[in-house]
A and B are shown apart, each in its own frame.
Chain A
Amino acid sequence: MRRGLSAFNMTAVALGLAFLYLPIAILVIYSFNASRLVTVWGGWSTRWYVALWNDEAMLEAAWTSLRIAFLSATAATILGTLAAVVLVRSGRFFGRTAFSGLVYAPLVMPEVITGLSLLLLFVAIEADRGFWTVTMAHTTVTMCFVAVIVQSRLLSFDLSLEEAAMDLGCPPLRAFLTVTLPLIFPAVAAGWMLAFTLSLDDLVLASFTTGPGATTLPIRIYSEVRLGVKPEINAVSTVMIVVVAVGIIAATLISKRGVVAR
């Protein structure tokens, strides 16, 4: 018997992919629609991309989102890596179980609740809501994802490598930076990419924690869509999809390379 895809498997794969990607495909195709009416195909055109280019508010929102994503991903990567190192390395210490639970909790916590509690916190400490509060909110949540990714890599890391570095005269911190960090770097980079894309497409947390003057791209799109879908939204969504896809593909490739190099 030929080992290939049976008709049934083929259909299942086709339906599955269609279910996942047909809406996105339609969105991408309609972003090149010449017609002003979203549901009517009027031929190919890039006019909505041109319109997007001239839409200052939309570009401003995109720029805000990119900056927030960059800063929060970087902070989350540093904090998440530190948390992972502590959880894997330090054995038992007072409050370890609580700490690891606290690191994982935001992964399963409904975003609405996280958002609301952060909002209450920012109100309580009278922080000016805006760019920095959104960045902090994103750092809080995405840090957990980084911690999980880095932790799984650290678990399979041969501790004797770091010990060998110390044995050869390297102080502990330098041993971590010159031996451990380069070797777990793929996981750290993958964590950063994931944190970046999570921040970029977050609507809920940003809505709760932002203030006037710091509108992120998802918030902007969402508020425009409520007034009716403009083809321009399709264009900006397509750009977002490309950015996120590149990020995810890069993260996958980097962590694959890490596996091969090991």
Chain B
Amino acid sequence: MEGTIEKATKPSAEPGAAPGKAQRMLVLSGRYGTPAVLVLLLIGFTAASPQAFMTGQNLLNILNQSATLAIVAGGLTLPLVAGKFDLSFAAVVSLSGILAVGFLERSGLPWFAAVLLALAAASIIGLVNGLLVAYLRINPIVATLGTSTMLLGVNYAYSNGTPITLAPGPFTDIARASVLGIPAPIILTAIVLGGLWVALNFTLLGHHMQAVGTNQVAARMAGVRVARITVIAFAICALCAGLAGVVLAARIGSGQVTAGDGYLLNAFAAVFLGASVLRDGDFHILGTVVGVLIVTVTFNGLSLLGAQSYVQFLFQGGILVAATALSSTSRGMLLASVRH
């Protein structure tokens, strides 16, 4: 099926089994290549702007900036684990921001009701995506491209194309509040990602999701409810996007049609960077976290250095290619070295 993800079925190299020194280096650079890139970035930026970059305030800043992207990318990891692409989450980020602000400003709902309704709307989009893919058997890329385009229309219709702004209040406090000096978005992100990590690794749902992504026919024959799992994956992805949209709207104090656009490429970059962390090309939450950090650190560091935005894009694209190439080539060399 197109639009679904084929995993390479090459044998994974076992560390420790073949204890050559050079081999161990290759194992390390294969598995830890991407985290190493993160460390190198941190060292590089510290060296380039020692006063500004490696300060407690800036590090907290980086985490705070990465919060929304981390929630989006964490959610996106699930459909990818189940072997399905989702292209609609960026539009969901915008939608939920617009709705939350709109419900507050235009309908005068209390902030929590506005937030809950926005999240409910986001989840429904995810359910629709899942139903289209699982029951109508539409190619996931096509289905989510379709819903994404329709959402764009909805967003324009609801907002008339202009940002809906709002005055500071309990809603914007979502992004500003802090507990013990830690900004609330960071805490929220940690809870969401922790939950996703546990769900993927230690629950039936997670195991079944991985099974569906690896071999859908075998999963069905083993009694896995493939359609249901697919729907849940899309729904969680959209719910996460909705949550990120709310946090983002609270931070910028408005709902905008284009608010989520930047997340599409960044979230995919983060998840694919993460797929080469620790495991051999499998999508997983810890990897996604590393990927998100690489993306955010790059932006933060470069903007501290005063780089223009074209430099930022060149740099980020380059890192995506380089980091994944590093881990896949060292894995290839490792396989070759095991052979003689």
Partners in one complex: no
Interface residues, chain A, CB within 8 Å of chain B? none
Binding site for A on B (CB under 8 A): none
